[in-house]
Amino acid sequence: MEIKSNLYFNFENGEFSDTDKQNLIISKKKFKDLKSVFLKPEDESIDDEKIMYEVTGYINEGKAGELNFGVTKIFPGEVNGEFNMTKGHYHEKMSHTEYYWGIKGRGLLILKNIDGECSVITVEKNSLHYIPENTAHRLVNISDEPLVVGACWPSDAGHNYGEIQEKGFPVRIFRSNDGYSISKITDNQTDN
Ligand SMILES: O=P(O)(O)OC[C@H]1O[C@](O)(CO)[C@@H](O)[C@@H]1O
C-alpha cells in the first residue's frame, strides 16, 4: 500500500514542511553570541539581540549511526565591513565529514585543514561541497540577501570551536568596491 511521505523539504528555498514541525530544532545565533567571531566586533549600529544566522533541522546530537539534516540561513550584513558568517568549527570527532549544498544566495565556504592550509570556495544555488575529515568550516554571506545552505552530517560528529575561537581562520572577508576582498590574517590582524 502506498503511504505519503511524512517529511517534505523545499529544495528551492530551504523551508521544511510543517507536517513534522515538532521534531525540528531551531537554533538562532545573536550578535551578542558572536563577539569573538569578527575581527572588530565593536559596532554600535548592530543590536546585540539581532539574529545573525539560524540553523533549522532534524538534529539528533551525539547518537552514533544517525544523520543530522539541517539548513543554515545567514542573514546579510557586515560588522565593521566584515561580512556576516558562522562561527566555524572542526568536528569533535575529527574523522567525521559533512556535505553542504547551496540553496539560495551567494557566499563563500572557508575550509582550513589541520596543517593550516586554507581554501575559499564559492557557494551558490546547487553548488555541492564535501567537507573532508580534519577540516574546519565556516560559511560567509557575501550578498545582500540571506545565504541559505543545506547540510548533512553524522549526529555524533560534535562541534569543536576551541581552536577557531582562539586563532580564527587564515582569511577574513570584507566588503570592497568589487564586491568582496579576501584578507590574509596574521595573529588575528589583517595583512593586506
Ligand atoms: O556551528 P557553527 O560554526 O556556528 O555553524 C553552523 C553550521 O554547523 C552545522 O550545524 C553543522 O556543521 C551546519 O549545519 C551549519 O552551517
Residue 5 lies in a domain: no
Residue 67 lies in a domain: yes
Domain that holds residue 121: 18-191
Q: What pTM value is reported for the model?
A: 0.95
CATH of the domain at 77: 2.60.120.10
Residue 11 lies in a domain: no
**88 CA to centre of ligand 1 in angstroms:** 7
Closest ligand 1 atom to the C-alpha of 89? 3
The best mutation among 59, 86, 169 to test binding of ligand 1, ranked by most ligand atoms within 8 Å of the C-beta, falls on 86
Closest C-alpha to 111, from 135, 92, 90: 135
Provide the 8-state DSSP code for 18. Answer: G
Question: What is d(CA 103, CA 85) in angstroms, rounded to the nearest whole number?
Answer: 16
**Kind of pairing, strands 78-79 and 82-83?**
antiparallel
Residue 33 lies in a domain: yes
Find all residues with CB under 8 Å of 81, minimum gap 6, and list them.
174, 175
8-52 confidence digits (pLDDT tens)? 999 999 999 876 677 899 999 999 999 999 999 999 999 999 999
127-157 confidence digits (pLDDT tens)? 999 999 999 999 999 999 999 999 999 999 9
Quote the pLDDT of residue 43.
Answer: 92
Residue 1 lies in a domain: no
Residue 12 lies in a domain: no
For the chain, the domain total comes to 1
**86 CA to centre of ligand 1 in angstroms:** 7
Residue 10 lies in a domain: no
Residue 2 lies in a domain: no
Quote the pLDDT of residue 189.
Answer: 66
